[in-house]
Amino acid sequence: MDSEVTNLALVKGLTSGISNGNVLVANAAVSDNDFLKVDGTSIEGRSAAEMRSDLNVADGATATDAPAIRDNSGTPAFASGITKAEILSLLGIENPKQHLRIFMSNNNISFGSNAGTRFVLDIANPLNFTSTPNTTDINIIDDQTVDDDDYIELKAGGMYMVVASIEVFTGVGTAAQDFFLELGNSQASTVSARFWGTARLKVKATNVSADCAYNMQKTVIIDVPSTGSDEKLYFAVLVNGVDYTVRAFDNNRTNITVTKIGDSTS
């Protein structure tokens, strides 16, 4: 073996450090900083408690335990185990997969409106609309101060995908001119009512023998900067020239979905 080992002196020096079941890797000829020393109670002179403190792990956690992470106060944040969502939260990364769906559930009624009048959907009205629960960043708000105009609140710091599908009918024998689906951040003016975009259909302005209908669909991406305020999102319909109604039918022809697809880019 002596002839096969290229650095026999180093090997002999290492073996001399083994005692009492502990291992001390060192060599007097070389700086101790070049070696890893394990003596059974510490590694490189650092105790288990000191290493737990460095890693911000609660005392008492074992190799078989789920990590017990400390919060900034030093208190263990979780008694036992840690979920993916909790890890993301600790890292400052929130779960982007938030989703809200609203659909017109009262199929036996329709919402009437006079010609040329903007009608804002009362999406917070449980008698007419059904929705999945609010999320952390996407909430349905019943605005009692503005003629019961309801809106969706989008929290600052997120990017949201909005898909709206609204079915509008005119009466039999009427001349439908301009159908509008409007997504806005306010109802104070035409500009604000259409701030997030519109869907529009213009038809020939002559009387028809049957009703005139349009299923208006609109998809938009709304980026709400983290440095700004929460945003409001209103949904309104408008038909110029004739009376009209918004209808539900099978719950799938008038519905809105909002999905948080990630964090804001600004």
Convert the pLDDT of each residue in 186-217 to its tens digit. Answer: 988 999 999 999 999 887 766 666 778 889 99
Beta strands 111-113 and 244-247 are: antiparallel
Q: What are phi and psi of 90, to 5 degrees?
A: -60, -35
pLDDT at 45: 67
Average pLDDT of the segment spanning 220-226: 96
**Do residues 241 and 179 make contact, with C-beta atoms less than 8 angstroms apart?**
no
In which band, very low, low, confident or very high, does the pLDDT at 63 lie, cut at 50, 70 and 90? very low
The pLDDT of residue 42 is: 67
Q: What is the mean pLDDT of the chain?
A: 78
- Inter-CA distances, 222 with 149, 219, 232, Å: 20, 10, 11
- What are the sequence ranges of the domains in the chain? 8-90, 98-263
Whole-angstrom distance, CA of residue 266 vs CA of residue 261 = 15
Contact 118/184 with Cβ under 8 angstroms? no
Instruction: Kindly tell me if the per-residue pLDDT of 116 is higher than 70.
Output: yes
User: In terms of Cα–Cα distance, which of 135, 119, 126, 120 is closest to 103?
Assistant: 126
CA 135, CA 257: separation in Å to the nearest integer?
13
For 31, 185, 221, 230, 261, the CA distances from 233, given in Å and listed in that order, are 67, 5, 12, 10, 17
Q: Are 103 and 249 in contact (CB under 8 A)?
A: no
**Total-model pTM:** 0.64
Is the four-CA dihedral 72, 157, 234, 101 of positive or negative sign? negative
- For the segment 127-162, what is each residue's pLDDT rounded down to a tens digit? 889 999 999 999 999 977 655 689 999 999 999 999
Q: Hey, which residues does 226 pair with through a beta bridge?
A: none
How far is 236 from 213, CA to CA, in rounded Å? 16
Within 100-158, residue ranges assigned H as helices are: none
Range 98-263: architecture per CATH: Sandwich (2.60)
Amino acid at 21: G
Residue 211 · residue 251 · CB < 8 Å = no
